[in-house]
């Protein structure tokens, strides 16, 4: 995948099949558009491209206190895995914000990316004040010579799948439902940092990662998780929260990995949230916490190996 941050520096003359949007979460609906763009590009011999924006955490938080399902980095990782040829991730600058819908299409999609086709959902919006919609795109396609495919939104029962629908389910901690809407488990990526080194004393060493400030978090508590770290997947159990029994300040994610005894500090970890187990609690003593963790780990064993219980 080629990654372009500054579209003015993009040089290739090859035609692109472009899909356009914020793609927060890269959920099932987004995937439908990406699949379509890839199929069209393969047929026409062009490049499949995603056009999106990097939105700074400050802007996101300032505007509507909107948290992201996937950070820019996580989204890039997923798009890369989906096998698109080109990711254009423009900073959402004043210049871009003030571009009319027609100029956006004429100058960027046609002028720079040589669009042969553009794939969008029925509710697509683009250009200054989000004035451009799917109908306008169809007429601009006729004017500038590219095909336009307007796809129906993917549904979950009667409800259209959208990033805000996924956020609602994350807020409820319904991680199985979230996985169904995304078509992959909600995850958090980050570097393994040092904690207070109590884990080893407790008998449960945990890898600690810090959730990015712009990331939408599920409720605080204990989750059955699967973690990719050091090139290997581990089953395990995580606590998302402030550890009120021993600490009580910043929100962190700690994961006890089953069948692992490696030193993992400084490595990248990707922790997938599979199922909520219980809320985080303040225990009267470390002993009580330890007993509860024993029970949690037993429950995780049953979750991962239901036939052995």
Ligand X SMILES: Nc1ncnc2c1ncn2[C@@H]1O[C@H](COP(=O)(O)OP(=O)(O)O)[C@@H](O)[C@H]1O
Binding site for ligand X (CB under 6 A): 192, 194-197, 199-200, 205-208, 256-257, 260-265
- 153 sits in the region (left: phi over 0; alpha: psi -120 to 50; else beta) called beta
Does 64 bind ligand FMN (CB under 6 A)? Our answer is no
82 binds, among ligand X, ligand FMN, none (CB under 5 to 8 A by kind): none
**Residue with Cβ nearer ligand X (64 or 194):** 194
244 binds, among ligand X, ligand FMN, none (CB under 5 to 8 A by kind): ligand FMN
Does 254 bind ligand FMN (CB under 6 A)? Our answer is yes
Other CB atoms closer than 10 Å to residue 232's CB: what's the count? 11
51 binds, among ligand FMN, ligand X, none (CB under 5 to 8 A by kind): none
Q: Going residue by residue from 262 to 291, which x/- string records binding to ligand FMN, judged by CB under 6 A?
A: ------------------xxx------x--
261 binds, among ligand FMN, ligand X, none (CB under 5 to 8 A by kind): ligand X
Interactions with ligand FMN, residue window 205-244 (CB under 6 A): 206, 208, 222, 237, 239, 243-244
Q: What's 9's DSSP letter?
A: G
Residue 278, token pair as written in the block: 């219980």
**Residue with Cβ nearer ligand FMN (96 or 202):** 202
280 binds, among ligand X, ligand FMN, none (CB under 5 to 8 A by kind): ligand FMN
Task: Say if CB 193 and CB 209 are below 8 A apart.
Answer: yes
Distance CA 174, CA 255 (A): 19
Name the CA dihedral angle for 36, 80, 191, 299, rounded to a multiple of 10 degrees.
50
Q: Which residue is nearest to ligand FMN (CB)?
A: 195
3-class secondary-structure state, position 234: strand
Helices (H), the chain: 28-44, 57-64, 72-81, 94-97, 101-103, 134-144, 163-172, 175-182, 199-202, 286-304
Distance CA 6, CA 93 (A): 11
- What are the DSSP calls for 171-197, one per residue? HHT-HHHHHHHHTS--EEEEE-B---S
**Residue with Cβ nearer ligand FMN (182 or 253):** 253
Q: Going residue by residue from 162 to 201, which x/- string records binding to ligand FMN, judged by CB under 6 A?
A: ---------------------------------xxxxx--
Contacts with ligand FMN by CB under 6 A lie at 195-199, 202, 204, 206, 208, 222, 237, 239, 243-246, 254, 256, 280-282, 289, 293, 296
């Amino acid at each position: 995948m080629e990654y372009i941050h500054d579209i003015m520096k993009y040089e290739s003359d090859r035609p692109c099949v472009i899909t356009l949007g914020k793609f927060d979460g890269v959920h099932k609906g987004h995937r439908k558009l990406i699949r379509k763009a890839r199929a069209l590009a393969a047929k026409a011999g062009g490049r499949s491209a995603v056009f999106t924006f990097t939105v700074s955490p400050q802007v996101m938080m300032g505007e509507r206190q909107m948290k992201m399902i996937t950070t820019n980095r996580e989204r890039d990782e997923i798009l890369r895995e989906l096998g698109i040829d080109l990711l254009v991730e423009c900073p959402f600058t004043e210049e871009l914000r003030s571009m009319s819908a027609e100029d956006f299409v004429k100058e960027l999609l046609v002028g720079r990316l040589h669009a042969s086709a553009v794939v969008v959902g029925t509710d697509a919006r683009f250009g200054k004040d989000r004035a451009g919609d799917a109908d306008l795109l169809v007429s601009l396609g006729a004017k500038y010579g590219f095909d336009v495919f307007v796809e129906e939104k993917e549904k979950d029962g009667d409800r259209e799948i959208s990033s805000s629908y996924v956020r609602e389910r994350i807020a409820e901690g319904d991680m199985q439902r979230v996985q169904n809407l995304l078509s992959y488990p909600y995850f958090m990526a980050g570097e393994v940092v040092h904690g207070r080194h109590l884990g080893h004393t407790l008998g449960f060493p945990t890898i600690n990662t810090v959730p990015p400030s712009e990331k939408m978090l599920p409720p605080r508590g204990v989750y059955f998780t699967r973690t990719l770290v050091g090139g290997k997947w581990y089953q395990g159990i995580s606590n998302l929260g402030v550890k009120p029994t021993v600490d009580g300040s910043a929100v962190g994610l700690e994961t006890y990995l089953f069948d692992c005894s490696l030193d993992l500090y400084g490595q990248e970890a990707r922790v997938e949230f599979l199922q909520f187990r219980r809320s985080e609690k303040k225990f009267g003593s470390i002993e009580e916490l330890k007993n509860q963790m024993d029970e949690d780990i037993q429950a995780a064993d049953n979750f991962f190996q239901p036939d052995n219980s």
